[in-house]
Amino acid sequence: MDALLAGIQNAFALGPLLAIAAGVSIGIFMGAVPGLTAAMAIALLAPITFGMDPLTAVAFLIGIYKGGTFGGSISAILLNVPGSPEATATAFDGYPLSKSGRAKQALQMALFASVCGAILADLMLYAVAGPFSKIALKFGPAELTFVVLFAFTFVAGLTGGSLARGLIACAFGVLCAMVGLDPMSASPRMTFGIVELLDGLPLIPIAIGMLGLAEVMVAAERAFLRRKEVSSDTESSPISATSGPHLSLPEFARHWKTVLRSSLIGSAIGALPGIGASLAAFIGYGTAQKYSKTPEKFGKGTLDGVAAPEAANSAVVGGSFVPLLTLGIPGNVTTALLIGTFLVHGIEPGPHVFKTEPALIYGIFTILFVANFFNLAIGLMGSGLYAHIVKAPEYVSYSIIGLTCMTGVFASTNSIVSLYIMIIFAVIGYLMKKFDYSFVAFLIGFVLAPEFEVSFRSFLLVAQGDPLGLLMTRPIALAFCLLTIVAVLRIVWSEHQRRTRSATSLKNTPDPSSGQKNP
């Protein structure tokens, strides 16, 4: 109880509250601008938190995470251009509502559903994280080895175009994490005589390069290809965020079943590594349509079609902190970046932190909860302003992002080598986007590789030449080993069925040159 009260008191100090407000404001802005995301904002701004105390730094980044999740809905509703991938499903009904003169209602529904979904997920985090951490304390090298292996497989299979590409991206992340000193023998590995690499490849330059600078390169390529294209279509002007009536509280309350259902879906999906908020939003949208009394209205402008994806993708935030805090396993790109910040501040996520620093954990829980109300207040006050920001030309926003990438990396590391690393991984990130290799799988492989290596090598030492025999005596490790095998088989079977369906549909498609007509 003392730790709980201390955590709440620390979270309500002036520093963390100001950090939450600043983070939410930046997050909504980054989420609202198409192409920019909360993950990119965290990668760019994480270096400025290194001088803050741990709780204030975490509060700032959580604020960005919360604000960015809602911010993507602004451009999705007003421009029909999702500001972030998880807001894609929001555009299906949000934009038709705006075109029919109900833009304000759509934005307010997105905001209220986001806040409610996040609050429910955070309450579930309070209830689940503590008991789960006690179970996780029993994990030894064998359990950690197969938990991380399961996370690798799960992430690789559910992100990117195929299991093979996901595994390649994950394995490349593990390979990059091998650079530096061997954790057991302290001998250099793959440093090529560069002293700066003895501590390993730094996370922040890699993340900024692959998230920020690679996106600038993609945008530059897109602009170059558009230069010579002459389009006959004229883009419609953005719809005003202040048009239409307000969303009344009784009207919002009529959609409580949709919000609750999507919140539970988002919380569950957030706790699974690698699935992400985008899939949660689509599942929430599809489930809402399935249980709706008027499913024919979906896609034509219904508030349920806005509430469902927004509640689901916001609930993912709270759900993603369950594996992060209890096992030290990030569920997505954003929480992988948060692990880097935690480690810089001397916080090692995992079950032991619940015993060593309970006040800090309860402070983080409180910040997650309080950030929702900042998100509500700033979202209500700033929707009109953010609606004007999304009109900024693409070349302006991406020029600023490119400059910020360079200055941010150099200011945080004061090393030219870090700039080279960022540029190299920006090119790698660009190529991964072009050839559909999962950045999520790469980053989670990179972040978890040190823990996996130490656990695996310790497991082999304890096994003394009989790893299978040791595995049979560890039921939790055996369960995760079997889950990994089942996950691989299921993903391979799903890919096989997809290829079979694709080949069958291609075979049944008549050749246009043969003059045959479709049956």
Tallying the residues shown for the chain, one arrives at 519
Closest CA to 310 of 449, 474, 115: 115
Q: Which of 74-88, 110-124, 218-232, 259-273 has the highest mean pLDDT?
A: 110-124
Render pLDDT for 65-87 as a digit per residue (tens, 0 to 9): 999 888 888 878 887 767 677 78
CA dihedral 188, 189, 195, 198 (to 10 degrees): -80
The CA R_g of the chain, rounded to the nearest whole Å, is: 23
Render pLDDT for 57-68 as a digit per residue (tens, 0 to 9): 999 999 999 998
Average pLDDT (311-318) is 89
Query: Does pLDDT of 488 surpass 90?
Result: no
* Least confident window among 77-86, 332-341, 365-374, 487-496: 77-86
Give the C-alpha distances (Å, rounded to integers) separating 490 from 163, 371, 394, 486, 494: 11, 38, 41, 6, 6
Average pLDDT (341-368) is 84
Return the SS3 of 451.
Answer: helix
pLDDT of residue 427: 92
Return the SS3 of 84.
Answer: coil
- pLDDT tier at 228, thresholds 50, 70, 90: low
Which of the pair, 70 or 271, is modelled with greater confidence?
70
Return the SS3 of 189.
Answer: strand
CB atoms within 10 A of CB 98: 27
> At residue 272, what is the residue type?
L
- pLDDT tier at 474, thresholds 50, 70, 90: confident
* Least confident window among 4-13, 61-70, 162-171: 162-171
For residue 356, report the phi and psi dihedrals to the nearest 5 degrees.
Answer: -80, -35
Query: Does pLDDT of 23 surpass 80?
Result: yes
Which segments of 12-102 does DSSP mark as H helices, in order? 14-32, 38-45, 54-79, 88-99
Average pLDDT (270-278) is 70
Give the C-alpha distances (Å, rounded to integers) separating 34 from 28, 78, 142, 282: 12, 12, 43, 19
- pLDDT tier at 148, thresholds 50, 70, 90: confident
pLDDT of residue 372: 93
Closest CA to 130 of 7, 307, 289: 7
Average pLDDT (293-308) is 85
The Cα 38–Cα 29 span in angstroms is 9
DSSP 210: I
* Least confident window among 198-212, 266-280, 294-308: 266-280
Q: Which of 20-24, 52-56, 80-84, 419-423 has the highest mean pLDDT?
A: 20-24
**Long-range contacts, stretch 185-188, CB < 8 angstroms, 24+ apart:** none
- pLDDT tier at 230, thresholds 50, 70, 90: very low
Closest CA to 379 of 26, 28, 22: 28
Q: Which of 21-35, 251-265, 290-304 has the highest mean pLDDT?
A: 251-265
The Cα 58–Cα 181 span in angstroms is 29
Query: Does pLDDT of 313 surpass 80?
Result: yes
Q: Whose structure tokens read 């949660």?
A: 280
The Cα 362–Cα 353 span in angstroms is 11
pLDDT of residue 6: 87
Tell me which H or E stretch contains 495: helix 475-508
* 3-state secondary structure string across 86-140: HHHHHHHHHHHHHHCCCHHHHHHHHHHHHHHHHHHHHHHHHHHHHHHHHHHCCCC
The Cα 257–Cα 279 span in angstroms is 20
Query: Does pLDDT of 514 surpass 60?
Result: no
Closest CA to 27 of 13, 43, 12, 8: 43
Handedness of CA 313, 314, 315, 317 (dihedral sign): positive
**Long-range contacts, stretch 457-464, CB < 8 angstroms, 24+ apart:** 457/184, 458/141, 459/141, 459/142, 459/145, 462/140, 462/141, 462/142
Portion of the chain with pLDDT greater than 70, in percent: 87
| CB 293, CB 311: distance < 8 Å | no
Q: What is the pTM of this model?
A: 0.72
pLDDT of residue 490: 80
Task: Classify residue 178 by burial, with Cβ atoms within 10 Å: 0-12, 13-18, 19+.
Answer: middle
* Least confident window among 188-202, 211-225, 309-323, 418-432: 211-225
pLDDT of residue 182: 86
Which of the pair, 423 or 283, is modelled with greater confidence?
423
Helix axis angle for 256-270 and 277-291, nearest 10°, is 150
